[in-house]
Structure 1
Amino acid sequence: MINIGHYIEVAIEWLAEKGAGFFDVWNVYVEGVIDSFQLVLYAIPFYVFISLTALLAWWKSGKGMGLFTLLGLLLVWGMGFWKETMQTLALVLFSTFAALLIGVPLGIWTEKNERCNRIFRPVLDCMRTMPVFVFLIPAVLFFGLGTVPGVLATIVFAMFPVIRFTGLGMRQVPGHVVEAALAFGATPRQLFLKVQLPLAFPTVLTGINQAVMMSLSMVVVSAMISTGGLGEVVLEGITQMKIGLGFEGGIALVILAVILDRITQGIVRKG
């Protein structure tokens, strides 16, 4: 019998033991950044946040979405889940931003380097079909329970669509446009910054939309390891058979997901 899991377990345990000091430092640093981000959101009065978000949704997705955002967030506040919603939003935004910092350069690299593309493509396909709970296992072993392992697992999970869509956008740049730019004397740096990247940007924005949605789904799953936010509300409703509480947490999550999805889609369409 081929026991692949045994070798993976040994490798992860070896990393957790040898890199304990490194992981502890990163645990403190990432937790401090996330806490600071959450405190900023907590400091914004709910009526200011709701008004600004509704105006943004109106601007990017139309009057109907602006009204939905206004009423939806007021309902979330009225149900008493405002703090949990801000926790979830902070985790999603931080995870998406970190996934972009890592995923966009990797996506550009896969487009520029064919060997790298051949290596990353099966890895991306494999990780995309991997059950989301698997991402939590090494995160818990390295960082224990809490916010940090959930966020790091979310970053890894949300990074794959960013890599894929960035590479796709770069490959979709028309060849004749590149040839024309080179004919007019564009340097490789000018070709990348002024031709390829602007033309690929709409596709990259689609990857950002996917990353936001995947971050939100993973943040909910990571409530199992005490990440916090609305996911823990739903988890409490399930584990303690509080049906009403579970539905209320689910409604708040749906409202937040629709708002984030429509705003990011509006940014993709209108820029």
Structure 2
Amino acid sequence: MNNIPKIPVGKWVDGFVTYLNESFEGFFGWLSNGIEGFTDFIVYGLMAIPALLLIVIVAAIAWFVSRSWSLPLLSLAGLLFILNLGYWEQMIDTLSLVLTSVIISVIIGVPLGIIASQNDTFSKILTPILDLMQTMPAFVYLIPAILFFGIGVVPGIIASVIFAMPPTIRLTNLGIRQVPEDLVEAANAFGSTTAQKLMKVELPLATKTIMAGVNQSIMLALSMVVIASLVGAPGLGVDVYRAVTRIEVGRGFEAGISIVILAIILDRITQHLGTRKKEV
């Protein structure tokens, strides 16, 4: 076995990454500024709202999507608890990171899922790529992200997008493919174009499944919070990382439970949002 020459995969990857960095440096700089600016906009917008007022707004959104009092009360109690612990600003930073990652995942993922649902060849090509994106250790994404975008929130968001986008693509594809065939045939019988069939039949019926994909992307983006903190992304992940390095169990538990509370609130709201859209 020692006589078999090693395949220089690492060198090939290094060369490809170096080529991209040298050839598209301007594009990566523009993209970095755009993502960072959008994230800062969300942070400043949320921080401009008084904490108690924002908590009431979230509770109102929770009631609107669920039409019950359990979710608003959970949101109210959970956010008040985070505020009491003193992690409000960190929670806002984490929320902005997650929202930016999910918005990018949806903007890219839903169209790719739609294309995959309409083209079997594209779907077969895309599936192993999605498998690679989901199974590759998340730390590996940080290496080229740091090289392209430097230290800060942007490489954390890019790594989160790569890790969190596959469920949105997969479930968009699945949701459209699961639309009953008789409804599609009825649309064809009425002379609907592909765009009309997609917008008026397939996407509305696939909304619940697509929202399930968005929900999964949110959870995966939240799971990247601590990893993103390793490259300079602010938020609750920083406190968890510091607690680990300093063996501060109490601080780590406080930051960790704050992430859990935020995850539960976002999870429940998006679940009810998907159900409500289907009912409407």
TM bucket (normalised to shorter chain) is: over 0.9
Pair 1:57 & 2:39 matched: no
Which one is further off, 240-249 or 96-105?
240-249
The answer as to whether partners of 1:151 and 1:219 remain within 8 angstroms in 2 is no
| Structure-2 residue corresponding to 1:231 | 237
Normalising by structure 1, we get a TM-score of 0.96
The answer as to whether partners of 2:39 and 2:100 remain within 8 angstroms in 1 is yes
Question: After the TM superposition, which residues 188-267 of structure 1 pair with which residues of structure 2 at under 5 Å, given as runs?
Answer: 188-267=194-273
Question: After the TM superposition, which residues 32-47 of structure 1 pair with which residues of structure 2 at under 5 Å, given as runs?
Answer: 32-47=37-52
| Structure-1 residue corresponding to 2:188 | 182
Runs (5+) with no aligned partner, structure 1: none
| Structure-2 residue corresponding to 1:20 | 25
Pair 1:131 & 2:115 matched: no
| Aligned partner (choices 45, 48, 70) of residue 76 of structure 2 | 70
Cα displacement (A) at 1:7: 1.4
Alignment deviations for residues 220-253 of structure 1 (CA, whole Å, 9 cap, x no partner): 3211101110000101111122222111100111
| Structure-1 residue corresponding to 2:15 | 10
The answer as to whether partners of 2:133 and 2:162 remain within 8 angstroms in 1 is no
Pair 1:147 & 2:153 matched: yes
Cα displacement (A) at 1:254: 0.7
Q: 1: distance between equivalents of 2:194 and 2:74?
A: 46
Q: 2: distance between equivalents of 1:220 and 1:30?
A: 19
Q: 1: distance between equivalents of 2:224 and 2:134?
A: 13
Pair 1:83 & 2:76 matched: no
The answer as to whether partners of 2:239 and 2:255 remain within 8 angstroms in 1 is yes
Q: 1: distance between equivalents of 2:251 and 2:8?
A: 42
| Aligned partner (choices 107, 110, 113) of residue 107 of structure 1 | 113
Which one is further off, 13-22 or 169-178?
13-22
| Structure-1 residue corresponding to 2:3 | none
Q: 2: distance between equivalents of 1:26 and 1:11?
A: 19
Normalising by structure 2, we get a TM-score of 0.93
The answer as to whether partners of 2:101 and 2:221 remain within 8 angstroms in 1 is yes
Runs (5+) with no aligned partner, structure 2: 1-5
Q: 2: distance between equivalents of 1:98 and 1:26?
A: 12
Q: 2: distance between equivalents of 1:17 and 1:231?
A: 31
Q: 1: distance between equivalents of 2:34 and 2:192?
A: 42
Cα displacement (A) at 1:23: 1.6
Q: 2: distance between equivalents of 1:218 and 1:21?
A: 27
The answer as to whether partners of 1:92 and 1:212 remain within 8 angstroms in 2 is yes
- 4+ residue stretches of structure 1 with deviation over 6 A? none
The answer as to whether partners of 1:85 and 1:229 remain within 8 angstroms in 2 is yes
Identity, % of aligned positions:
45
| Aligned partner (choices 120, 142, 160) of residue 166 of structure 2 | 160
Q: Which amino acid aligns with 2:14?
A: E
Which one is further off, 181-190 or 88-97?
181-190
RMSD of the alignment, in Å? 1.4
Number of residue-to-residue matches in the alignment: 271
Q: 2: distance between equivalents of 1:26 and 1:124?
A: 23
